[in-house]
Amino acid sequence: MNHQPFEDWIFEAKLTHDEEKQLHKHLATCQDCSRLRQAMKGMERTFSSPVHAGPKAGFAMRWQKMAVEREDDNQQSAAWYMVAGLVVLMTSLVYLNFGANWFANFNIMTFLVQRTVNVIQTVGSLFSTVTSLVNAFQTIPGQVVFVVALVLGAISFFWIVLWFSAMRRIFAAQRKAI
Ligand SMILES: [Zn+2]
């Protein structure tokens, strides 16, 4: 199925009445695009809710408050998929070795949502890969696996912290710009 221009429209802030009608028609028949839009809505809620108004409240409390305010279960789970997807994304970025320059001139919202949807869709096929990997790992001595896991974990943690601080700076800059 051809997903254009609908894929672009999902990220558009303002559509004409006619475009809106066409988009709704397409979403009703296209699972890919409606999933993408759901993730986008969850993302919007996650980052545009009163979260930023109360920076002193704890992260868990803010999440709870948002969850209560959210009446739509689908959008709530989409937001959680976002968080899970972000973690997967961050870890994969470690191994792709992206630099800090990467953040400049980049539509981060579009990239994050599309990437997350892709991740969710590929998780299924990953499971079979993981199963065969586990079988392969069983032939490697336990100590070697432990040391490698420790090193990878440390590197991942470093990059996740780096990523979060970069995200915070980006969103702070965006808020200032608005
Ligand atoms: Zn579509």
Q: 123 alpha carbon to ligand 1 midpoint, in Å? A: 20
| pLDDT score of 67 | 56
Q: Is residue 155 part of a domain?
A: yes
Q: 34 alpha carbon to ligand 1 midpoint, in Å? A: 7
Q: Is residue 13 part of a domain?
A: yes
Q: Is residue 162 part of a domain?
A: yes
7 — pLDDT class (breaks 50, 70, 90): confident
Q: Is residue 1 part of a domain?
A: no
Q: 8 alpha carbon to ligand 1 midpoint, in Å? A: 10
Average pLDDT of span 24-33: 91
Q: 46 alpha carbon to ligand 1 midpoint, in Å? A: 24
Q: 38 alpha carbon to ligand 1 midpoint, in Å? A: 13
Lowest mean pLDDT among 22-31, 124-133, 158-167: 124-133
Q: Is residue 115 part of a domain?
A: yes
CA separation for the pair 102, 59 (Å, rounded): 28
What is the domain extent for residue 145?
Answer: 6-177
| pLDDT score of 26 | 92
18 — pLDDT class (breaks 50, 70, 90): very high
Q: 6 alpha carbon to ligand 1 midpoint, in Å? A: 6
pTM of the complete model beyond 0.85:
no
- Structurally, the chain folds into a number of domains equal to 1
Q: 28 alpha carbon to ligand 1 midpoint, in Å? A: 9
Q: Is the predicted pLDDT of residue 97 greater than 90, yes or no?
A: no
Buried b / exposed e over 33-45, threshold 16 CB at 10 Å, is bbbbbbbbbbbeb
Between the alpha carbon of residue 44 and those of residues 61, 65, 125, the distances in Å are: 19, 16, 28
Q: 24 alpha carbon to ligand 1 midpoint, in Å? A: 11
Q: Residues, the chain, total?
A: 178
Q: 48 alpha carbon to ligand 1 midpoint, in Å? A: 26
Q: Is residue 70 part of a domain?
A: yes
